[in-house]
Chain A
Amino acid sequence: MNNDYLLQEIKSISDDVQKKILNAKDKSELLDIYNKYIASNGILSQKKNNILKSKSIVDKKTAILKINSFFDEVKKCFEAQKKSIINAELLKENEDISLPAFDLSVKGINPIHLIREKIIDIFFGMGFKIYHSNDIDDEYYNFTLMNIASNHVSRDMENTFYIDQKLLLCTHTSHAQGRAMEETKGKPLKIISPGKCFRKDDDDLTHSHQFMQIEGLMIDKNINLGNLKAILEIFVKKMFGENRKMRLRNSFFPFTEPSIEMDISCDNCCGVGCYKCKNTGYIEVLGAGIVNPKVLEMNGYNSKVYSGLAFGIGIERIAILKYGIDNIRRFYTNDIRFLKDFKG
C-alpha cells in the first residue's frame, strides 16, 4: 500500500471528525464523537495503530509525525468545542447582577462626633494631649478660677443649671483649664479638652441647652499671640481647606487678655459679602486669647515666668460651617436619614 493513500485516508477521516465535532450541540453528542473516533479504541486511533504496525510503510518517521499532527488538530478542535459548549451551558445560568448587594456599608455618625474627632486629630498632631472635661463641676472651677466676677450674669440661676449651691452643669469647657492647671502644678502643659456644655437656653433653631466645645490650653515660657495665630491658622487650613482666609478681631473674655475672635472667609461669597455672612464676608468661628496673667496666678502659675494661650471651639458651629447644616436641632434629633450622610 502506498503511504500517501493511507495518510490521505486518515486526513479525510480527521477532517470529517472535525466537522462532526463542530456540529456537536451538547456535551453528550461530543462525548459520543470522542468515544467513536478519538478514544483509544476509536476509529482514528485504530487507523493510527494500523499504520504503526504496518511493515509496508516506507518512511515511518515522517508518516507518524503527519498522523500526530492530524490527531492534534482533532484534539484541539475537540477541546475548543468542549469549552464553547460548557460556556454556552454556563451562560444559561446567567445571574442578574443588578439585584441588591449585601449591606456592608459603614453606617452614619452624628456629625458632632465626626467633627470632634477631626479637631482632636488636628491638635493631637500638634502635640496637644487630651484632657477629660466633666459635665458637672464646682462653680469655683467653672467661674471663679476663670476670673468670672461674682456678679457676672452667667452665674445667674437664669443662665446656668445648678445641682446645688456649688455644683453646676458646666457652661463651657474652660473649667477644664483650672482642673488641668491644678493637676500640672505650675509646670508647662498643652491640652485640648472636649466636653459637653449646658446653658439655660430654650431649644430652638439656633440655641440648644446642651452643646459641645473643645477647649485648648498651652502654657509654657514665652507663649505669645503669634503662637496662637500660627496654631489657629493650621487649624483653619486643616479643617476648612487651604483656600480659606482667616481674620482676627478684638474681643473680650474674662480669662484671656488680649482676647480675640477668629473669623474665616465666607465660603458662599468668598469674602465679598452675602446673606450668610451678614454682608461682612467673614463668619465667626471661635474665641481665643492669651491667658490672663490673673488666671495663671490664681491657678498656681508664676505669670512672670510662664504665659499661655487658650481657645474654645464650638463643635456645633464648626459642623454647621463645614457641612452647611441648616440648624442646631438636627444634631440632637438624630434622624437616620441625616446621620446617613456623615461617615468616618
Chain B
Amino acid sequence: MLVSFNFLKKFIDFKNLSPKDLVEKMDVFGFEIENVTDTNINNLVVGKVINCNKIPDTHLNVCNIFLGDKYGVKQIVCGANNMRNGIKVIVALPGAKLPKAEIQEMTIKGHKSCGMCCSLEELGIDKQFVKDKNCIYEVDKKISIGEENILKKLGFADIIFNVKLPYNRPDLMSILNFAEELSKLFKKKFKNLKIPQIKTIINNDFILKNTSDKCSLIAICIVKNVIVSESSEEIKKILFSFGMQPVNNVVDYANYVMLLTGCPIHIYDYDKFSSKEIIIENNKSNCDFLALNNKKYLLNNNDIVASSNNKIICLSGIIGSLDYSCTTKTKNIVIEVGNFDILAIRRTSLRLNLLTESSKRFIQGIDNSFYYEKAIKILAALIKKDNDNCLVSDVLKIDKNQISRKKKNKISISVQKINSILNTKYKSNVIFATLKRCFSSVQKVKKDLFIVYCDEKRSDIQNINDVAEEILRFLGFESIKNELPKINMSLNNLSQKEDNIKKIKNHLHAFLYEVLTYVLVSEEDSELFDFLLLNEQKYKIINPIINERSCIRKSLIPSLLKIVSDNLIKQNNNFGIFEISNINTHEGEKLFLSVVLTGYNMLRGKMLKIPYSNFYLKGIFNSICDILNIDKNKFFLNKLNITKNELHPGKHAGIFLDGNLIGYFGEIHQDISIKYGIKEKTFVMELNLGNIFSLAENSEIKFKKIPNSRFVERDLCLLVDKNMSSTEVVNIIKKSGGNFIKNVEVFDVYEGKDFKDKKSIAFNIIFLDDAKTLTNDEVNDFMKNIIDSLSKKNIFLRE
C-alpha cells in the first residue's frame, strides 16, 4: 500500500519525528517498508530573470538570473518560448538530480550555462498539473527570490512509503485507521476526521436486490444536482501521491474517500438507469462486459455483478461499466458500496488480469461493513461542498451480517499469563496502560486481571496470545529475557536412516560432486529411467506453470543428465555427480541415490586419466555395501529389459536382491546422448537406498581370527565362451576346488580374433588352510579337480 507522508501529516502531528525514524520504527512494528520515494529535489532555487538576449539563428536565449544573495546572478542558456525579462523561474543548479537528468555546468553555442530553468514536467510532476508543455514554470510573484524549498511550497514535495501490511490487518488499508494506529504506536496525537451531518431531503427511489451468496452488504445513496468538473489541485495531488489518476471531481472524491476509509465506492450516472433497480447476482454466464477502462471482458457465473434491467452495470468490487459511468454530462448520481467475498473477487480479478484499487482492497480482506455509512456521508459532504444545491437521499441497504457483527469480542487478560508468554516481568500498571493504548475499551477486574473489548474492525484479535502480540508491538523486544527452555532431558540421536545417509554422503564427497535438482520434470522425462518404479502411476500436477515442470519424477537420472549436459556446454568436462533424494510414490516416499559419470576420471590431471566405466559404478556400489557392512554377494547382477533405449543394451546391469530389482547401472544409450546433447561417454547408476538400508539393520561387525599359516597361489588361464560371465567360471572353480579356496580373482581378459567365439580369462586362485600351510601336492590335487570340472563345462586351459 502506498502512503503519502504529506497526507498522513494531516491526521497525525509527528512533531520532530523524521520520515527516516518513522520508517525504521514501522519496520519493527511489523509494517514492512518495501521502498521509500522522496519526490523532493535538492539544488533548486527561485530566481528572477534580469536580462535575456537571443542567440542569433537559434531559439535560445542567454539569460542572467538573480538567485538571491546566497547565489547571486547566474548566466543560463534557455530555449523556452516564455522566457522573458522580469519573470520568476525555478533554476536547477549544477548537482540537481532531475528525474531524467543530472544538471551540470556546460557551454552551449559558446555561452556558459550554469544550470537550467525548469518546466514542471522536467521536475517530475505529472502532466496533469502542467498547463503549457514547452514552457518553463513561472513562479507566483508572491514567492520570494532565493527560495530553495520551492517544490515543498508548491505542494509537490512528498515522501511516499510503500508499506507491506501484515495479512491480518486489512483494516489498515484505510489512511484514517493507519494514521490512528501510528498515532498509538508513536504516542502522537491523532486528528480524526469529523463526520459531517448531511440533511437527507430526497427519497431513495431505487429497488435493491441481492441474490448472490458472495455479497454480504450492498448500500446505495442518491445525490442530485451535482456539478461534474475538474478536481481541485489538492485532491489531484493526493490521488497522484497514491498512484491514482484523477478523472473528475465526483469520481476523484469517491477515490479519495476510499483512501480515507478503505471502503471502495462506485458511482453510477443516475439518469442512465432505465429502471430504478440494482440487483447483485452471480449467475450471468458468458456475458460480455465493457468496463470503464474501455476494455471488454467475458464474465461467467463465478463473477459477482450488479445488474439493472438485465444489463450488467458493474463488475462488483472491481470495476464499473462504461455505459453507466459518471461523466462531465452527469447531473445526478447513485453512490454504491458493497462487501464481497475475498475469494470470488480474487479469482475474478486474477482471471481477467484486472487488479484495481477496489479489488486490491477486497483481496487484502477489508471488511467495509463497519465504515460504509461513514464513507457515504463523507463523500456526499464533499460533493455538496462543490455545489450547495445538491440533494442527498437516504441510504438504502441490504446488510446480511448486521446482527452477528454487533457482538464485541471480549478477552480476559491476566498479567501473569502475558508475562509467561513473553518471558517478561511487566508490572500490572504497565500492562494496563499499554492495553489502554491498544484498545478503545479496557476494564480492570482485579489488580492483575483485565478485560479487553476488541474494536469490531480488529477481527484479528481473538485470544490472549493476540493481545500479547499487541503488547509486544507497543513495548518492543528489549524486556524479553533470553532464557533457554527448562525441559526434561532425553536421548537424541540420528535415526539409522539419517546416519546411513550421512556415512554414504561423506564417502561419496571424496570423488563426486553433490548436486540438488528439481522434483518437477516434463512428462517425457518422467517416463525415462523409471526401472525402479515401473508399475508406479505417475503423479501429475493439475495446474503446472510450464510443461517442463508438470510431473513428479520417478527417477533422478534425467535431472542429473540435464546437469551434465548444461556443464558440458560450459566446458566443464570429466566429472561425476550424485544426488540422494526422496522419490514420491503412491506408497509413500522412497529414498534414491543416483550417480552420473561423464568422460574421464582425472586421476592425476591430464597426465593420468582413466575413462569412467560401469566398473567405476560397480565399485561405488560395492563401497556403499562396505560402508553399511553388508555382504555384497547378497546382490545379483543381471541384464534388464531395455524397452525405451535408455541404457546401452550390452553395457548395463540390474542389481537384484531376492529377485527384486533394487538398482541398476549402465552406459547411457546413444538415443539418450542425442536427446540430452551429451557427446562424452556417460554412465548412470540409480539405487533404491531403502532396500539396501533394510539389510544394514542387522549387520554388526564381528572380530575374525587372523591365521598364522601361509597361503599358496596358482594362476589359471582359461578359454571360455564369449557370453559366459567371469562370475560363472569363478563359481565353478570355488565349487570344485575344495574348502580351502580363499579367493579367486580375474587378472586378465583377452578377446582376440584367434579365439573366435571364445575369450581368454586368467584367474589367480588363493588356497589357505587356517590351521597349517598347505603342501604343493595338496594344492596340485585341488587344481586337478578344478580343471576336471571346468572341462566338463567345455572350459579348457589356454595352450
Contacts and interface: CB of A to CB of B under 8 A. Distances in A.
A101 to B, nearest CB: 7
Interface string B456-497: 000000111110110011000100111111111110101100
B540 A163 contact: yes
Nearest to B607: A100
A202 interface: yes
Contacts of B30: 249-252
18 contacts: A100-B607, A103-B605, A108-B513, A110-B513, A135-B589, A153-B363, A161-B543, A161-B544, A162-B541, A250-B472, A257-B469, A258-B468, A293-B464, A293-B465, A334-B515, A334-B577, A336-B575, A337-B570
A181 interface: no
B509 A344 contact: yes
Nearest to B31: A250
Interface stretch (A20-28, A71-79, A223-231): A223-231
Contact of B542 (A156, A164, A223, A336): A164
Nearest to B589: A134
Interface string A90-112: 00000000011111101111101
A108 to B, nearest CB: 5
Contacts of B421: 224-225, 258, 290, 307
B567 interface: yes
A102 B542 CA distance: 51
B709 to A, nearest CB: 36
A198 interface: yes
Interface stretch (A11-19, A46-54, A61-69, A122-130): A122-130
Contacts of B511: 107
A230 B27 contact: no
A227 to B, nearest CB: 4
B115 to A, nearest CB: 29
Given A249-B27, A252-B169, A163 B542 contact: yes
A163 B423 contact: no
Given A107-B510, A280-B27, A334-B517, A229 B482 contact: yes
Given A158-B350, A209-B545, A258 B472 contact: yes
Interface in A211-241: 218, 220, 222-227, 229-231, 233
B582 interface: yes
Interface string B638-667: 000000000000000000000000000000
B541 A110 contact: no
Contacts of B35: 278
Contacts of A230: 482-485
A83 to B, nearest CB: 33
Contacts, number: 224
Contacts of B489: 127
A32 B238 CA distance: 113
A248 B543 contact: no
A144 interface: no
B770 to A, nearest CB: 36
B455 interface: no
Interface string A254-269: 1001111000000000
B607 A130 contact: no
B269 interface: no
Nearest to B473: A250
A124 B498 CA distance: 12
Interface string A106-148: 1111101100000000001011111010111000000000000
Nearest to A296: B465
A153 B566 contact: no
B55 interface: no
Contact of A250 (B28, B494, B505, B605): B28
Given A258-B468, A335-B572, A224 B420 contact: yes
Contacts of A45: none
A57 interface: no
Contacts of A250: 28-30, 469, 472-473
Contact of B492 (A129, A163, A225, A343): A129
